[in-house]
């Protein structure tokens, strides 16, 4: 299994540009998540999905959109990029066991907005 | 609201010595607690979790964590540190009574950098 894969690994955007961060998992997990990691700030949840066709906002959804048309894929769309969106973005997938889900993370996408 | 605190930004320990990485939490009910490790330029990797039962939880790579309800702590421990343990460690908490749309939010700490000195 490849686990959780993310593309691209790095990206530089200009202010106002848009892009899609791709995320794919091959573990048949129902739960998928997008986080951003800023230095010294831990992880902040952007959006999550509990299954195909179902998505919901996390803590910091403004400026982002997601879709979940299949179990495997959970792309994150940035519209009108801003410098505040400079961060490392992690996608994760998970399953419930004993009432709590364990999350499996991708390698991350480092995004810089100039 | 649930929260988790990692009071140390960095912990230095000599190779072969025991290590402890501290974590305290705040939730309204009984917590689900997790430890994850992040190596440079990599995503987080699951180490261990506490849901219920024995307060001492054993995980990957020889790590263990002790759940202490009275002190609201979940410290990560290892009896003998290795240089390869050097990484960023994250504690996370979920309050099973905090649910929004079927999802129980997980809150991550800010991370503790562990440096094992040869």
Burial class of residue A14, CB neighbours in 10 A (0-12, 13-18, 19+): exposed
CA B14 → CA B20, B81, B117, distances in Å?
12, 7, 5
**A25 or B30, which is more confident:** A25
DSSP 8-class letter at B9: S
- What pLDDT does residue A107 have? 92
Put simply, whether B45 touches A (Cβ < 8 Å) is yes
Put simply, whether B97 touches A (Cβ < 8 Å) is no
> What mean pLDDT is predicted for residues A33-56?
90
Helix, strand, coil % over all residues of chain B, rounded to 5: 5, 60, 35
> What mean pLDDT is predicted for residues B83-100?
84
**In contact, B42 and A108? CB cutoff 8 Å:** yes
pLDDT at B34 over 80: yes
Distance CA A27, CA A6 (A): 14
- What pLDDT does residue B102 have? 56
- What pLDDT does residue B41 have? 80
Interface of A with B in 63-82 (CB under 8 A): none
Using CB atoms, pick whichever of A40, A42, A56 lies closest to residue B103.
A56
- What pLDDT does residue B27 have? 87
> What mean pLDDT is predicted for residues B82-95?
93
Q: What is the 3-state secondary structure (H, E, C) of A2-48?
A: CCEEEECCEEEECCCCCEEEEEEECCCCCEEEEEEECCCCCEEEEEE
């Amino acid at each position: 299994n490849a686990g959780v894969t993310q593309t691209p690994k790095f990206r530089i955007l200009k202010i106002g540009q848009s892009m899609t961060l791709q995320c794919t998992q091959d573990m048949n997990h129902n739960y998928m998540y997008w986080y951003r990691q800023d230095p010294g700030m831990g992880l902040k949840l952007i959006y999550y999905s509990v299954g195909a066709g179902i998505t919901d906002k996390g803590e910091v959804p403004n400026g982002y959109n997601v879709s979940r048309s299949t179990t495997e894929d959970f792309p994150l769309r940035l519209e009108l990029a801003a410098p505040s969106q400079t961060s490392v973005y992690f996608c994760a997938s998970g399953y419930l066991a004993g009432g709590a889900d364990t999350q499996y993370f991708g390698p991350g996408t480092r995004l810089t907005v100039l | 609201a649930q929260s988790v605190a990692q009071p140390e930004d960095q912990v230095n320990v000599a190779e072969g010595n025991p290590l402890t990485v501290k974590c305290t939490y705040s939730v309204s009910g009984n917590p689900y607690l997790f430890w994850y490790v992040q190596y440079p330029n990599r995503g987080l990797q699951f180490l261990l979790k506490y849901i219920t039962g024995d307060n001492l939880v054993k995980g990957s790579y020889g790590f263990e964590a002790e759940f202490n309800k009275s002190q609201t702590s979940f410290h990560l421990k290892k009896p003998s540190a290795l240089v390869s343990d050097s990484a960023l460690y994250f504690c996370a908490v979920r309050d099973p009574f905090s649910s929004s749309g079927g999802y129980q939010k997980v809150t991550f700490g800010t991370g503790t950098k562990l440096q094992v000195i040869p």
